[in-house]
A and B are shown apart, each in its own frame.
Chain A
Amino acid sequence: MRQAVGPVLAVVAAILVIWYFAAVWMNAAWTQQQAARAGTTVTFSEIVTDTMQQARPRLPAPHQVAVELWNTVVMKKVTSKRSLVYHGWITLSATLLGFGIGTGLGILLAVGIVHSRAMDMSVMPWAIASQTIPILAIAPMIIVVLNSIGISGLLPKAIISAYLSFFPVVVGMVAGLRSPETAQFDLLKTYNASRAQVFWRLRLPSSLPYLFTSLKIGIAASLVGAIVGELPTGAVAGLGARLLAGSYYGQTVQIWSALIGAAVLAGLMVGLVGVLQRVTLKRMGLSR
């Protein structure tokens, strides 16, 4: 882990340098256009300084995004509609609610699949096939339909999030509940253990590594679901709404800051699941 710090920092620095160069390159056309319209010529150093501070650049420079982030995260009150924290919280609450629902239902279905042969044979192929389907495409319909029967706000977005996190959890959990070896099942059989005892003492504990891997995929998918779920409601609130509003009005700095906000949110949530995974598996003696 320690030896990765240097290379990672180098790569991040390289990305920032490329970003700055790209910002100069992509924004220069606008600067030259303005200068030509004003009838003046601009030197190269003037172009560079101008490309760093345009109001609506094609590609905002990293420090512009950082300033926007600072202004919308720290300087604004969290209840303000211009605060990124406010929008982030709206997206986060839908994500977490959906993730909870999806994970709960996914685990229940996985338990059913493991214990019923008929259920396994009928549901499992569909659960696997459904992962090849662009489920996100039905997001706008779910939002509009639920809206038309009077359900709006948090729940429709949460349903999309739940749907996206549901299938990874089912597939991972089924694999996990089946992961104990035959010898272990045989041992419990010689103890005359009931099915419930086999489940609580053997299947559930050995499924946890699989569950956490699925949870990481699921929570990232939930966030994507919540963001896309915010698009069709016409950009009211949330990170997805910030993206859409930014693209309507050409506010590129706002788009990038919403994007960074979403990235930080995703990183934090995946990281949190990772910490939970490490702590839990360590306490159970399962970590390697």
Chain B
Amino acid sequence: MSWVAGAFGFWGLAWWINLRIAASRQANTPAARLAVPVIFGVTLLVLWEGLVRGLNVPGVILPPPSAIAARIAVSGPILWADFMQTFVKGALSGYVIGCSAAFLTALAVDRFDFLRRGLLPVGSFIAALPIIGTAPILVMWFGFDWHSKAAVVVVMVFFPMLINTVEGLRSADSMSRDLMRTYAATPGQSLRKLRLPAAMPFVFNGLKIATTLSLIGAIVAEFFGSPTVGMGFRISTSVGQLALDMVWAEITVAAVAGSLFYGSIALIERAVTFWHPSQRAAN
């Protein structure tokens, strides 16, 4: 029982500290903005650990964070191999192919108003569909290895990226477009100097949505068939063996990889769209 009491005691203490920080005059400093969520996250881990130990929850239902950390520490090579297979080979290559294909398609679509009016509604409809369902078909076509995972990722990221880019290419305001006309700019010049830069916030929005989708696509596609390596393969087989600490270890890796991927795209966005109000406000 002492574990449970200790966990709830820690919760109370942490909550009190957070209330104090939030009510204090330094609440808007970067340090406070970092400290409060970190304290909250640590509290969740402590509660988890304390409740699992105190209530003797069996490891096949919910392993404590310490067991997961220990599992991560000892199975580094396996996790690394799975990460390379699923993230680098499957998700990343699919992400690059899908996003660049969608970007080029958007440039073509933008030239023809007829195509834009036809493809945009169809594209936004398809983007709302459960595209993950094409995974079994693509696994059948491209085999069990990472090629089929990359194909699933391509299909998943294509439409969100396409819609965002097409929207972005239209976003330059009419004043600026008129200005380009008065300069007698060719369509190519107007695209390069005005409309592409103006589209960048939308393009990066699409790129950021696609980061999460690519990881989901690569992992779920492995549930339909994979070689004996990969994060999705490890998750589904470890669940079958009730080795839940391994499952949580893979999920931790996936979460960290997903956040870093998203974060790096967001960093590039900050460098490219430094002129946009949303970025200027952050600085």
Contact = CB atoms under 8 A, between A and B. Distances in A.
Interface in B109-123: 114-119, 121-122
Nearest to A142: B239
Given A123-B40, A133-B258, A141 B18 contact: no
A39 to B, nearest CB: 29
Nearest to B250: A137
Interface string A240-282: 1001101100101001101100110011001000000000000
B99 interface: no
A117 B23 contact: yes
A220 interface: yes
Nearest to B122: A11
A135 B219 CA distance: 10
Given A10-B118, A122-B37, A132 B133 contact: no
B274 interface: no
B118 A8 contact: yes
Q: Which of B19, B36, B116, B254 has the most CB of A within 10 A?
A: B36
Contacts, number: 170
Contact of B219 (A7, A136, A255): A136
B239 A7 contact: no
Nearest to A60: B137
State the majority secondary structure of interface residues on A: helix
A220 B212 contact: no
A90 interface: no
Nearest to A269: B128
B32 interface: yes
Contacts of B61: 145, 148-149
Given A122-B18, A266-B130, A58 B119 contact: no
Interface stretch (A28-36, A80-88, A186-194, A226-234): A226-234
A141 B255 contact: no
B140 A137 contact: no
Interface string B124-157: 0100111011111101110000000000000000
A256 B134 CA distance: 8
B211 interface: yes
A142 to B, nearest CB: 10
Nearest to B113: A7
B69 to A, nearest CB: 17
Contact of B130 (A7, A135, A262): A262
Contacts of B242: 144, 148
Interface string A124-136: 1110010111111
Interface of B: 15, 18-19, 21-23, 27, 32-33, 36-37, 39-41, 60-62, 114-119, 121-122, 125, 128-130, 132-137, 139-141, 211-212, 215-216, 219-220, 223-225, 231-232, 235-236, 239-240, 242, 244, 247, 250-251, 254-255, 258-259, 261-263
Nearest 8 CB-CB pairings of A with B: A7-B118, A247-B136, A122-B40, A11-B118, A132-B262, A118-B22, A121-B36, A125-B37
20 contacts: A3-B117, A7-B117, A11-B118, A11-B122, A15-B122, A121-B22, A121-B27, A121-B37, A124-B37, A131-B212, A133-B212, A134-B255, A137-B250, A141-B239, A220-B128, A232-B236, A243-B133, A247-B225, A262-B129, A266-B129
